[in-house]
Chain A
Amino acid sequence: MEDKYSSNVLSGGKLGMVEVPNSRLTRYIVLLVVTKVLKALGIFESYDILKVVHIVQFIFILKLGSAVILLFFQKPFSSGKVISKRQWIKLLKHAVFSCVISLLGFFGLTLCGPLRTLLLFEHSDVVVVALLGVLFTSSGGGPSKTRGAALFIIAVICLLLFDNDDLMAKMAEHPEGHHDSALTHFLYTAIGFLGVADHKGGVVLLVASLLLKVGFHTASRKLSVEIGGSKRLYALDNLVSAIVLLPWVIVLSLTTDSKVESWSSLILPFGMIILSVTILEFYVEAICNTKMETPRCARYGAIALFLSALLLANFWTHPLTDQLRSMSKPPQQGSTEHVLSGGVIVSAIFFIMSSSILSSPSKKGQKGTLVGYSPEGTPLYNFMGDALQHTSQSLPRFIKDSLKQILEEYDSRQIFYFLCLNLAFTFVELFYGVWTNSLGLISDGFHMLFDCSALVLGLFAALMSRWKATRIFSYGYGRVEILSGFINGLFLMVIAFFVFVESVTRVLDPPNINTDMLTPVSVGGLLVNLVGICAFSHAHAHAHGGKTCPSNDHGHSHHGHSHSEHGHSHSEHGHSHGGHGHSHGGHGHSHGGTSGHGPPPGSGGGGMNANMRGVFLHVLADTLGSVGVIISTILIRQFGWLIADPICSLFIATLIFLSVIPLLKDACEVLLLRIPPEIEKELNSALEKVEKIEGVLSYRDSHFWRHSASIMAGTIHLQIMAGVVEQRIVQQVTAVLKDAGVNNLSVQVEKEAYFQHMSGLSTGFQEVLAMTQQMESMKYLNDGTCIM
């Protein structure tokens, strides 16, 4: 691990992270993952061994074994420079420290169990350093690092508080076997004094020793350079610490009687632990650190290690202990200790997330996009635009901002409140379902959640449509509303289709429906949805009354009909993805607008807010769904007409289908760049007016389309007489068309000769599209006309 020193220097010197293509690194990653899995195995096994072997003996054997192997590989005495006396002393200190740390680590292992130890103790230095950087320095590296640190701390707290793996009562008595030395006894009583379960003490111990370990690694870098390489240091360190531990072990083995009857049966597990935990991991990590960047290595390693630990914790069945114990003493009831619990899983997930966040390289120097190289050859970065926007967005602030935005405008506020209501209802339903253990309620709750997705989509669209236009989306994001309405409509249609199919099969074969629970739930759903309908239809009225747009009187008397599947879903076959309902509103939508007087431009739209329409339809559908369910429930209960349910849903599906069609049609028209129907007449008369403007000969290629509720775009080519002032014409045409509602117009004015060229070459847009050749010729001639 000490090898990080050199690689840190290298990667720290680079401006950005140089991403080596993944394919080349795959084998290293695989190697790393395999090693980590083996290491996890080794730790699990050593936990078992530690139950029978004294911890000091264990560490001694570990150090000795790895020292022997490392001496064999590294040959620290025969190669490299001679080590001076002062260095030997340093080495001795180093070894003592490393002994203490491994002692603490393994003692933590005996307390916490292997899974928790792996989660806590095996963090790579990079992660811990980043964590400490966030906690104790002001420039921690931005919000993402802060998030990572928060996750880390939450994970630790999770382990401390929510991990009820050991019963306090059981822990009250000393587990026999661990505390037979003065040191461990002291530690144990210290922890016991705090009055917590021993694994909690172990967590604290492990965190402390993790910090120690990192500090120790950092401090030992200098020594490793002096001695000549981290590998040599590691070998020597193992040897020296084995020697340091030797007297203690001798004293121990003389004073206490060993619980192990046959050391020979332990040779194999010890060999495996030595290989996987110390030797293999050390080498592989050294290799990976040089081949990949340290952070990446740390990330993959951590993920592999934690996941394999989780898996192993599930399947590990103490084979070794059971076997050993059967020789030594009757098995204790300990086989259930340190099992998986919810808290551990949550904290493992948090640990994985935090270590991948914390180990990701800080983005300094990467914020800008490379735009090129200066004459001197230094890279130039562009810090404008997106890069700047993304840097300083912290999560809470983002949430606060978007909440503010949501509440700013009427539409999104409505959707938001209703979404909250809906979610609350859903969660109540889910909790109640879980509590009473009713599958029907739970699955209905999930369907409700699914319905909420339409609301979320609508909310998001309402927000997004207010974004400012950017260089890329030069007309702004207003179209999102239409797209979201379209998607909602499609969604409803698919649902209607499925409900239809479902009810057809049910008509053929009516299932037995358990109606007990239906009514209260569907009445509740109906109430919620009724609130929604009130809110949204109010929104419509509001939008229409308040927002100009006199040209169309949309009645918007939607009535919906919908049906929801909730009812269905409770049938015995658990699913039926229910449809939901939806209804149609009558959509007054008479784009009949066409009131010939030029309406004020701007928001003109015949119910242009497709987004709100989509959401409204969805809510209506749900409402009608619950109405349908209630009716069919009553029918079934009173008269036993099982067929009522499928027929009801058949009816509802058809209604949904019919009601979505207008919405889809409108949205399609906008998306297909149709001339907005509600201003078609005005446009025609405006175009006539344009032709009558003095000096205008004719026009061609006039295209008008609605971009969003507030933007009506148009383009036109004008041919004018030779002697006319172009600027005046442009202004007049713009004014005329603005009256007709076009507020984003560009007029290209051409004098006669040029116009003939252009119009002769491309007689209409269709040809341009259809015939490539013509396009080609037009282009050539265009080139030819440049001198004109």
Chain B
Amino acid sequence: MLPLSVKDDEYKPAKFNLLLKLSGWFRSILSDKTSRNLFFFLCLNLSFAFVELSYGIWSNSLGLISDSFHMFFDCTALLAGLAASVISRWRSNDSFSYGYVRAEVLAGFVNGLFLIFTAFFIFSEGVERALEPPDVHHDRLLPVSVAGLLVNLVGIFVFQHGGHGHSHGEEGHGHSHSLFNGSVNHGHSHGGHGPESKHGGHGHSHDGHEGHGHSHDEPHSHDELRTPGKGASKQILQGVLLHIIADTLGSVGVIISALLMQKYDLMIADPICSMLISLLIGVSVVPLLRESIGILMQRTPPSLDQALPECYQRVQQLQGVYNLQDPHFWTLCTDVYIGTIKLLVAPDADRRWILSQTHNVFTQAGVRQLYVQIDTAAM
């Protein structure tokens, strides 16, 4: 009766010292490439926002001040990504028996939602302006939006470099090109009227999704069935790339509309541009949202869709297995799948053999955590 339970609580420090905690967080942020990138980008963004804010206060420009608030809002997306990447590394405890890995998915989801909200707001604002073009003061529009674009380009570079360069090993960095839009769209907001400013899209890092340090980079040469999993992560990459492109187009759009307004006084260019941008954002977020909602709703992993029926068949062909019931398979976080099934077996079947065989079959399909409940059929 030795091992009563393998759970260990001793990781919880007895006393919380704020300083200690902060430095611990800091260290854990810096220890991982994803969160480090996120952190630096967040800092860059925050400093941009602060510069904007202080300049706004100094020059007493309401537009700049409200724009910097929007920037702060955008930063929350980054912050969410960062927090998620830290939280997801916390150890599991009694209450959170799976640990906090889901935080990544959740952060991706939240960021996606934020993006959708923003896109919606921009869109409605754009419609409003298209009907009744306001008098935008475009004096300061261009410099600010170009600066925003620069900041975002840095962001893209950092994250894309990470994400694509080592595509597999490091699949994880959240591409949080978040600010991306955020800062850019602010461009608009510098219209003189504070309230009219449009909070631009913001960014978002769906680090959540991609994140995950544990990208299982080992090539499992021997299990063929795992390949679907990789395909899925590739899809994520594709989504990220799409998103980046949309964001870039967005910021370019703002600059173009600023130019158009300045040169030709085409006031309609601004609302049209922002509507286009919001549509792009909306479209590019949909795959991310769909995926994270699927995970949060315990959907059967799409990458296992093909493999599972085959596995069921193989298990049912084991000697002594009558039936397979209640199969539940779901994704804990990217590439970690958990499954439970119930097997109805003959009374004289070799349960241990069936158990290990079943584990074997599903492990090959990529399901790491499997719970097999074996019931004996009533004769």
In the assembled complex, the Cα of A576 lies from the Cα of B103 at a distance in Å of: 33
Interface residues of A in 558-588 (CB under 8 A from B): 571, 573-577
A residues contacting the other copy or chain, number (CB 8 A): 84
CB pair A575 B6 closer than 8 Å: no
CB pair B305 A673 closer than 8 Å: no
Interfacial chain A residues near B18, Cβ < 8 Å: none
- A166 in the interface, Cβ–Cβ < 8 Å? no
Interfacial chain B residues near A673, Cβ < 8 Å: 96-98, 102, 332
CB pair A707 B298 closer than 8 Å: yes
- B28 in the interface, Cβ–Cβ < 8 Å? no
- B158 in the interface, Cβ–Cβ < 8 Å? no
Nearest CB to that of A764 among chain B residues?
B6
- B125 in the interface, Cβ–Cβ < 8 Å? yes
CB pair A746 B117 closer than 8 Å: no
Interface residues of B in 91-147 (CB under 8 A from A): 91-92, 94-103, 106, 110, 113-114, 117, 121, 124-125, 128
CB pair A754 B5 closer than 8 Å: no
- B6, B128, B217: residue with the most chain A Cβ atoms closer than 10 Å: B6
CB pair B351 A726 closer than 8 Å: yes
Contact of A491 among B1, B117, B332, B340 (CB under 8 A): B117
Interfacial chain A residues near B342, Cβ < 8 Å: 746
Known: A746-B373, A765-B369, A770-B214. A672 touches B96 (CB 8 A): yes
CB distance from B213 to the nearest CB of A (A): 8
CB pair A772 B102 closer than 8 Å: no
- B290 in the interface, Cβ–Cβ < 8 Å? no
Interface residues of A in 411-439 (CB under 8 A from B): none
CB pair A759 B3 closer than 8 Å: yes
- A18 in the interface, Cβ–Cβ < 8 Å? no
CB pair A765 B99 closer than 8 Å: yes
Binds B, one of A86-94, A385-393, A512-520, A778-786: A778-786
CB distance from A505 to the nearest CB of B (A): 5
Known: A473-B297, A490-B110, A505-B65. A769 touches B101 (CB 8 A): yes
In the assembled complex, the Cα of A316 lies from the Cα of B295 at a distance in Å of: 54
CB pair B5 A746 closer than 8 Å: no
- B103, B218, B355, B373: residue with the most chain A Cβ atoms closer than 10 Å: B373
- B357 in the interface, Cβ–Cβ < 8 Å? yes
CB pair A764 B92 closer than 8 Å: yes
In the assembled complex, the Cα of A717 lies from the Cα of B338 at a distance in Å of: 14
CB distance from B312 to the nearest CB of A (A): 11
In the assembled complex, the Cα of A699 lies from the Cα of B7 at a distance in Å of: 10
- B328 in the interface, Cβ–Cβ < 8 Å? yes
CB pair A490 B113 closer than 8 Å: yes
Known: A759-B3, A759-B6. A675 touches B194 (CB 8 A): no
Interface residues of A in 735-788 (CB under 8 A from B): 744-751, 754, 759, 763-766, 768-773, 775-776, 779, 782-783, 785-786, 788
CB pair A472 B4 closer than 8 Å: no
CB pair B106 A671 closer than 8 Å: yes
Interface residues of A in 467-521 (CB under 8 A from B): 471-475, 477, 479-480, 483, 487, 490-491, 494, 497-498, 501-502, 504-505, 508-509, 511
Interfacial chain A residues near B117, Cβ < 8 Å: 491, 494
B residues contacting the other copy or chain, number (CB 8 A): 81
- A102 in the interface, Cβ–Cβ < 8 Å? no
- B165 in the interface, Cβ–Cβ < 8 Å? no
CB pair A768 B369 closer than 8 Å: yes
Contact of B106 among A672, A726, A776, A779 (CB under 8 A): A672
CB distance from B155 to the nearest CB of A (A): 22
- B262 in the interface, Cβ–Cβ < 8 Å? no
- A674, A713, A763: residue with the most chain B Cβ atoms closer than 10 Å: A674
- B359 in the interface, Cβ–Cβ < 8 Å? yes
CB distance from A658 to the nearest CB of B (A): 17
- B341 in the interface, Cβ–Cβ < 8 Å? yes
Contact of B300 among A474, A765, A768 (CB under 8 A): A474
Known: A704-B97, A730-B375, A776-B218. A474 touches B298 (CB 8 A): yes
Nearest CB to that of B66 among chain A residues?
A505
Known: A754-B356, A772-B216, A782-B363. A730 touches B128 (CB 8 A): no
- A534 in the interface, Cβ–Cβ < 8 Å? no
CB distance from A631 to the nearest CB of B (A): 22
Contact of B371 among A716, A726, A751 (CB under 8 A): A716
Contact with A along B19-63 (1 / 0, CB 8 A): 000000000000000000000000000000000000000000010
- B296 in the interface, Cβ–Cβ < 8 Å? yes
Interfacial chain B residues near A362, Cβ < 8 Å: none
- A701 in the interface, Cβ–Cβ < 8 Å? yes
- B376 in the interface, Cβ–Cβ < 8 Å? yes
Contact of A768 among B330, B351, B360, B368 (CB under 8 A): B368
CB pair B371 A747 closer than 8 Å: yes
In the assembled complex, the Cα of A46 lies from the Cα of B147 at a distance in Å of: 54
- A691 in the interface, Cβ–Cβ < 8 Å? yes
CB distance from B196 to the nearest CB of A (A): 6
- B268 in the interface, Cβ–Cβ < 8 Å? no
- A668 in the interface, Cβ–Cβ < 8 Å? yes
Interfacial chain B residues near A577, Cβ < 8 Å: 121, 124-125
Interfacial chain B residues near A779, Cβ < 8 Å: 363
In the assembled complex, the Cα of A129 lies from the Cα of B215 at a distance in Å of: 56
Interfacial chain A residues near B194, Cβ < 8 Å: 505, 509
CB pair A751 B101 closer than 8 Å: no
In the assembled complex, the Cα of A501 lies from the Cα of B70 at a distance in Å of: 9
In the assembled complex, the Cα of A449 lies from the Cα of B96 at a distance in Å of: 39
- A553 in the interface, Cβ–Cβ < 8 Å? no
- B327 in the interface, Cβ–Cβ < 8 Å? yes
- A595 in the interface, Cβ–Cβ < 8 Å? no
- Across the A-B interface, give the 9 residue pairs with the lowest CB-CB distance, nearest first: A746-B340, A715-B371, A746-B373, A501-B69, A573-B195, A703-B97, A474-B328, A746-B371, A479-B297
CB-defined A-B contacts under 8 Å, sample of 18: A472-B305, A473-B300, A490-B114, A511-B195, A573-B193, A575-B128, A673-B97, A673-B332, A698-B2, A699-B5, A751-B352, A754-B356, A766-B91, A771-B214, A773-B218, A779-B363, A788-B352, A788-B353
A residues with a Cβ closer than 8 A to B are: 446, 450, 471-475, 477, 479-480, 483, 487, 490-491, 494, 497-498, 501-502, 504-505, 508-509, 511, 571, 573-577, 668, 671-675, 677, 680, 691, 697-705, 707, 713, 715-717, 726-727, 730, 744-751, 754, 759, 763-766, 768-773, 775-776, 779, 782-783, 785-786, 788
Extra pairs beyond A674-B95, A775-B216 (9, CB < 8 Å): A474-B298, A479-B296, A575-B128, A672-B103, A675-B95, A675-B96, A704-B97, A716-B371, A786-B357
